[in-house]
Amino acid sequence: MARRAGALIAAGLAALTLGPVAVVLAQAGRGGVGTADLAALRFTVTQAALSALASTACAVPLARALARRRFAGRRLMITALGAPFLLPVIVAVLGLLAVFGRAGLVNGGLRLLGLAPVSIFGLGGVVLAHIFLNMPLATRMLLQGWQAIPAERLRLAASLDFRPTDFWRHIEAPMLRDVLPGVLLAVFAICLTSFAVVLIVGGGPAATTVELAIYQAIRFEFDLPRAATLALMQVGTCGLAVALASFFTTPGGFGAGLDRQADLPAPGGWRQLIDFGAIGLAATFLALPIGAVVLRGVPGLASLPAGVWPGLLTSLLVALCTAPLAVSAALVLALARAHGARWLEPVAMLPMAGSQLVLGTGLFLLVFPFVAPPDMAVPVTILVTAVMALPFAYRILLPEARVLVADYGTLAESLGLCGWAALRLLILPRLRRPLGFALGLTAALAVGDLGVVALFAAEHGATLPLVISRLMAAYRMEAAAAASLLLVIAAFGVFWICDRWGRAGAEL
């Protein structure tokens, strides 16, 4: 049942992601890719791989520290980890520049000390920016892994007098081998299609990504087959990464627990020092740019232009429709995958590597002969955002869906528990925490997404990100900063509500 529904959704998803690419590919044009494109592909993969490794490497000690330490403000910090990921690109970049830029805090400090300034621009800056944007997400996903270790194993470890190294070898390492490849994959896929951040912080054409080549192909050359070919290269790369990740994923095999509460062992001494060091460093690294975003936005808040409010409403409406759509589809896929449908894995990850511009263009070509694109603005936005957000939700749900099927699958089958009853009695209660997180994340992504909206935009009814880009184009940078702060508050608000629902009753 779950597998059949999964197959159905996967088919729809594949059609939605590959259909538009096929349509774009079928248009007239020269097509073909050149050496510059191969260089772009090489750079894209390099920066994405480095970013994924660095983000995850930073996330592991942070997630571990957050999992086993208790301190005031811990809940707040875990919630706030959602924030960087939700920032509109240019807002995040300006926040980072306020800290690491020429006129930023770091260089101000260096100048005071009489030292030469450092430049953020270049490959190092790209990786730094991607760490800022993705390390928190990676941390949250890893934290779920630590959280999912059954209390019974912790007690067993305690009664066996595990030292920290034993605990690492028998409990944490196997858990990470289960969770880490997926986290790496998610960050890699995000960075693969990241384009504005890479170009701005990358410092010039040496930092050309495949997505930028796609822009050029569509907008200046109008060579649609070329754009589609480039998009397929991107998808192919992601496909390889999916294969690699699933090769390295080995189930943790902890077995079922009884949901007792137990704290992870929190060794003292230098380990405690390192844990709090990691927490302090991460908090500073993440809080400074976000603080800068808030500071830039506050002065304009009192005089926000009227056009911002309908924009906010439209964005919230989109989020309200997108999140349940994406998460329910992702849940079905994750359960089907957990039941053994391995082939679902690449399909569920497809949209993450898809080019937004090609997807939008393809949908435009599909829709245009029948209806005026501006009339379809909101439905298309909802659909595309849901498709784009689905892989995130899937990644978040999958590890615990696997555990659910491994621990309760047989029991549920022997009881004939299926359909709504299974959803109500088994799935919702067991997966509540990742479901809340996934709902929050997709809703927040939908609030902040500019994506394909631009192609389908109507004269009225712009979403908030579009209003912000219009404000910036009209020189109103202060108003744009304030509207961005509003966007962050809104995105973070919906994230917080959903995440809180998910965590209610669960110690995290």
Partner 1 sequence: MKSLKFAAGLAFVATSVAAETPVLNVLTYDSFVSEWGPGPAIETGFEAECSCDLRFIPAGDGAALLARVQLEGARTDADVVLGLDTNLTAAARETGLFAPHGQAPELDLPVAFEDANFVPYDWGWFAFVHNRTLDAPKNFRDLAGSDLKIVIQDPRSSTPGLGLLMWVKAAYGDEAAQVWKDLADNIVTVTPGWSEAYGMFLEGEADMVLSYTTSPAYHLISEQDDSKTAAVFDEGNYMQVEVMGKLAASDQPELADRFMAYMLSDAAQAVLPTTNWMYPAHVPAEGLPKGFETLVQPTKSLLLGADEAEALRAPALEEWRAALAR
Report d(CA 327, CA 211) in Å as an integer. 26
Report d(CA 233, CA 199) in Å as an integer. 19
DSSP state of 376: G
- In the complex with partner 1, which residue's Cβ is closer, 195 or 285? 195
Half-sphere exposure (CA, 13 Å, Cβ side) for 247? 6
Question: From the CB of 452, what's the least distance to partner 1, in Å?
Answer: 11
Based on the shown chain and the rule CB under 8 A, indicate whether residue 477 belongs to the binding site for partner 1: yes
- In the complex with partner 1, which residue's Cβ is closer, 67 or 480? 480
Q: Are 209 and 198 in contact (CB under 8 A)?
A: yes
SS (H, E, C) 287-341: HHHHHHHHHHHHHHHCCCCCCHHHHHHHHHHHHHHHHHHHHHHHHHHHHHHHCCC
Can you spell out the DSSP letters for 134-167?
Answer: HHHHHHHHHHHHHHTS-HHHHHHHHHTT--HHHH
Report d(CA 271, CA 290) in Å as an integer. 29
Number of residues that bind partner 1 (CB under 8 A): 58
Query: Near partner 1 by CB under 8 A, which window of 80-88, 314-322, 441-449, 467-475?
Result: 467-475
From its phi and psi, is residue 359 left (phi > 0), alpha (psi between -120 and 50) or beta?
alpha
Would you tell me the crossing angle of helices 344-353 and 173-193 to the nearest 10 degrees?
40
Based on the shown chain and the rule CB under 8 A, indicate whether residue 289 belongs to the binding site for partner 1: no
Cα distance from N-terminal residue to C-terminal residue, the chain: 32
Based on the shown chain and the rule CB under 8 A, indicate whether residue 151 belongs to the binding site for partner 1: no
- In the complex with partner 1, which residue's Cβ is closer, 216 or 246? 216
- Binding residue (CB under 8 A) for partner 1 from 103, 113, 258, 302: 103
Token output for 440: 């929050």
Query: Near partner 1 by CB under 8 A, which window of 11-19, 265-273, 413-421, 464-472?
Result: 464-472
- Binding residue (CB under 8 A) for partner 1 from 458, 493, 497, 501: 458
Mask: binding to partner 1, 382-421, rule CB under 8 A, as x and -? ----------------------------------------
Question: From the CB of 324, what's the least distance to partner 1, in Å?
Answer: 29
Based on the shown chain and the rule CB under 8 A, indicate whether residue 22 belongs to the binding site for partner 1: no
- Binding residue (CB under 8 A) for partner 1 from 74, 430, 432, 476: 476
For the chain, give the number of residues.
508
Token look-up 């299609």 returns: 193
Based on the shown chain and the rule CB under 8 A, indicate whether residue 427 belongs to the binding site for partner 1: no
Based on the shown chain and the rule CB under 8 A, indicate whether residue 97 belongs to the binding site for partner 1: yes
Based on the shown chain and the rule CB under 8 A, indicate whether residue 291 belongs to the binding site for partner 1: no
Coil, strand or helix at 121:
coil
Based on the shown chain and the rule CB under 8 A, indicate whether residue 455 belongs to the binding site for partner 1: yes
Question: From the CB of 470, what's the least distance to partner 1, in Å?
Answer: 4
- Binding residue (CB under 8 A) for partner 1 from 33, 105, 106, 454: 454
Can you spell out the DSSP letters for 456-490?
Answer: H--SS---HHHHHHHHHHTT-HHHHHHHHHHHHHH
Based on the shown chain and the rule CB under 8 A, indicate whether residue 199 belongs to the binding site for partner 1: yes
Question: From the CB of 227, what's the least distance to partner 1, in Å?
Answer: 10
- Binding residue (CB under 8 A) for partner 1 from 220, 247, 270, 420: 220
Q: What are phi and psi of 428, to 5 degrees?
A: -60, -50
Interface of this chain with partner 1, residues 334 to 373, rule: CB under 8 A: 361, 364-365, 368-369, 372
DSSP state of 257: -
Summarize as ranges the residues that interact with partner 1 (CB under 8 A).
Answer: 36, 39, 90, 93-94, 97-98, 101-103, 119, 121, 195-196, 199-206, 208, 212, 215-216, 218-220, 222, 305-307, 361, 364-365, 368-369, 372, 374, 454-455, 457-459, 462, 466-467, 469-477, 480
